[in-house]
Structure 1
Amino acid sequence: MLTVLIDGPSGSGKSTFAEALGRHWGLPVVHLDSFYPGWSGLVAAAAMVVDDVLHPSHPGYRRWDWVDNRPAGWVDLDPGASVIVEGVGAVTGASISRAEERGDVLTVRVCAPAALRRRRALERDPGFEPWWEMWAAQEREHFAGPGHVPVHLRIDMSGGNWGYRGLSGT
């Protein structure tokens, strides 16, 4: 069984890459955007990857209702299936350890320049603008903090084409 953990800051191209990889490999994709518990929820969602999404016998997650700003229904995942998990906070030491209990693990960091990321994110979701700085601060903490770990692959999504940076350890 394979668990692919894809991380990177907002607007970097994580979802685009994850969806393409999921189609290519025939794997389901779990997006942290589906369950961040609000705009201050990056750390909580990272913990939910470990505790819920990658739970060994009962994996799943509680969706977040962004309109009503509250938890919504539970989504079950197949405990015996390979999966791609993407979102800011997907790659931590704890999520890697939990994923290793399931089998093989591939970790990916997707990157792009800050101005391009911001433009992409706000084009995708104009309602994100009032929250951009608050979210960016959580991202900086995630990528600089103790949860930051080396990854197997770095993918540069600066242009229309994916730029593979190889096995990097960073």
Structure 2
Amino acid sequence: MPSRSDDPVAAALEQAATLIAHDVRALAAANPVVLIDGGSGAGKSSLAARLVRRWPVSGHVQLIALDSIYPGWDGLDEGAERALEWILRPHGRGYLGTWRRWDWEAQAEAESHAVDPALGVIIEGSGILRPATARLADVRVWVESAEPVRKARALARDGDTYRPHWDRWAAQERRHIERDDPRALATRIVPVP
């Protein structure tokens, strides 16, 4: 088994998390907002977890994965819209936000979670970086990785649960990229091998 230093994906994500932590520190804000977008399997969740460990602002950071909000396999755009309405707009106004978890098995909304406006927020997920959300974020990250590599990682991670849905989800991601150009909205682009 290769060591972390021999793993080019882990090395790229570690370096990116360090750079993004510097970006956050440079803001000198008590409650910064970081958005992390990219295609499925690019490394968004792994990057977000690394950033949480390096969070440079006092107090903990609230990490929200769009996978917990998307309303099903056709819900990429709706998930981003929910994050905008339930989390980003209230947070930006200094109000308590509340988002509802999507129960993938029941195909219904589940319990609610509060978002403290006094604390920083990281939202990671495909589709989160678009013009309306970019205006409310301090640091905007696009994680870039080739589709064949992303697909292999995503299917290795989620296996048969994801396999039948890959094509329909990838089509939604392509529409998001063509329409919203998230790479152009990013303040930091993270290439992942």
Query: If the TM-score is normalised by the length of the shorter chain, which range does it land in?
Result: 0.7 to 0.9
Distance between the aligned counterparts of 1:58 and 1:98, measured in 2? 15
Q: Matched residues, percent identical?
A: 37
Pick the structure with greater CA Rg: 2
After superposition, residues 1-170 of structure 1 pair within 5 angstroms as: 1-25=31-55, 26-54=60-88, 55=90, 56=93, 57-99=95-137, 105-126=138-159, 127-146=161-180, 148=182, 149-158=184-193
What displacement does 1:21 show? Answer: 0.4
Distance between the aligned counterparts of 2:37 and 2:190, measured in 1? 10
Distance between the aligned counterparts of 1:109 and 1:146, measured in 2? 12
String of CA shifts for 1:1-38, please: whole Å, max 9, x gaps.
Answer: 21001000000000000110011115221100011000
Structure with greater helix percent: 2
Unaligned runs of 5+ in 2: 1-30
String of CA shifts for 1:93-115, please: whole Å, max 9, x gaps.
Answer: 1112234xxxxx00000011111
Q: Report if aligned partners of 2:131, 2:185 keep a CA contact under 8 Å in 1.
A: no
Aligned length: 153
Q: Report if aligned partners of 1:52, 1:58 keep a CA contact under 8 Å in 2.
A: no
Distance between the aligned counterparts of 2:68 and 2:100, measured in 1? 8
Distance between the aligned counterparts of 1:4 and 1:128, measured in 2? 27
What's the TM-score once normalised by structure 2's chain length?
A: 0.75
Residues 111 and 147 (structure 1), Cα distance of their counterparts in 2 relative to 1, 3 Å cut: closer
Structure with greater strand percent: 1
C-alpha root-mean-square deviation of aligned residues, in Å?
Answer: 1.3
What's the TM-score once normalised by structure 1's chain length?
A: 0.85
